[in-house]
Structure 1
Amino acid sequence: MSIRMVIKHPNRVLEKKCLAVTTFDKNLAVLLDDMHETMVESDGVGIAAPQVGVAVRAALVDFREGQEPIELINPELMLFEGAETDIEGCLSFPGTFGEVERYDHIKIKAQERDGSWYELEAEGYEARAIQHEMDHLDGILFTRKITKYVTQEELDEMIRQQEEEEEQV
């Protein structure tokens, strides 16, 4: 495994619709492992293949401590409902944060690294992260969906307030 360079905007690969993964081999496994290591090193919760310069429909999300990352190969959105606005950032846009509306409950179908299909339902933050990464695979950047930009200072203050509220509970 190795850490790859995270592609930053305005690189054109970030705005391309990615090709379907058709070969499930060692090269795909290496890509997924490298993406995970790169994401962890970059302090992210998700990463898509175009963010490491590979225009294929592969992404992963990992923020559940002690659990395996969710690998999203050729993902398809099957069900979506509800709406929630929250703040997002992106490894390809360092220092950029903004409010984005996303579905609050989703169901997806995707493939594992061996090519087998699975279904997954997700809500809240997990659903948001999956949708963010799936957008990358269609060349859709989160900045196109931001309704209000948030500064680093505003984000830090929101996090501080949330931590204070959690301590009081």
Structure 2
Amino acid sequence: MTIRQILIHPDPRLKMVAKPVTTVTDDLCALADDMLQTMYDAPGIGLAAPQIGVLQRVIVMDCVKDPDLPPRPMALFNPEILWASDDLSTYDEGCLSIPEQYAEVDRPAEVRVRWLDRNGAQCEEHFTGLWATCVQHEIDHLNGKLFIDYLKPLKRQMITRKMVKLKRELARG
């Protein structure tokens, strides 16, 4: 497994729509393993393939935060939301592509999601709480949308300017 470099906003690849996975291959499973390793290393609870420059509809997530519980790494190929609750929940979201920036985002509190697993089998699950927020955040990435796109323009511009400055500092190394 390889830790991949995470793209930092603004990067045009983060605004592109990812292509559907036609077949779950060994290469795509290896990509998902790399993504999980990258996510855990960051550390984060979710990562979408476009965040590492791969424009495929693949996300990984693990929202188990309790150290007494076993981790639940998930790899979802072609995830799609089938149903979303009318009830909203507000979560102070962050993003590995927008480091150290957080903002409250309202999203449906519950969602039903369908995806292909590592074996190419179709799966469905009802997500609530942090899992629901995370899966929606990651699916947004597949559609070229970032959590800051939900914010008012001034706040979004302020965060974008901070990221431009961070990228300049990182480039200077």
**Residue in 2 that maps onto 1:124:** 129
| C-alpha contact 2:19 2:57 (8 A) present in aligned 1 | yes
TM-score computed with the length of structure 2 as normaliser: 0.82
Structure 1 runs, 4 residues or longer, greater than 3 Å off = 147-150
| C-alpha contact 1:6 1:52 (8 A) present in aligned 2 | yes
**Residue in 2 that maps onto 1:41:** 41
**Residue in 2 that maps onto 1:27:** 27
**Residue in 1 that maps onto 2:116:** 111
| C-alpha contact 2:4 2:35 (8 A) present in aligned 1 | yes
| C-alpha contact 1:78 1:106 (8 A) present in aligned 2 | yes
Q: Secondary structure at the match of 1:96?
A: strand
Structure 1: distance between partners of 2:130 and 2:31: 25
Which of 139, 147, 157 aligns to 2:144? It is 139
2:82 aligned with 1:78: yes
Structure 1: distance between partners of 2:153 and 2:95: 15
**Cα distance, 1:111 vs. partner?**
0.6
Q: Secondary structure at the match of 2:99?
A: coil
TM-score computed with the length of structure 1 as normaliser: 0.84
Unaligned runs of 5+ in 2: 156-173
**Cα distance, 1:146 vs. partner?**
2.9
Structure 1: distance between partners of 2:133 and 2:4: 24
Q: Secondary structure at the match of 2:131?
A: helix
Q: Secondary structure at the match of 1:34?
A: helix
| C-alpha contact 1:98 1:148 (8 A) present in aligned 2 | no
| C-alpha contact 1:98 1:149 (8 A) present in aligned 2 | no
**Cα distance, 1:147 vs. partner?**
5.5
2:17 aligned with 1:17: yes
Q: Secondary structure at the match of 2:91?
A: strand
Structure 1: distance between partners of 2:137 and 2:74: 13
**Cα distance, 1:148 vs. partner?**
10
Change (3 A) 1:148 1:96: farther
Change (3 A) 1:147 1:100: farther
2:79 aligned with 1:69: no
Structure 1: distance between partners of 2:22 and 2:49: 14
Percent identical residues: 37
Q: CA RMSD in A?
A: 1.7
Structure 2: distance between partners of 1:5 and 1:96: 18
1:71-110 residue CA offsets vs partner (Å, 9 max, x unmatched): 2210111111110112000000011110100100110111
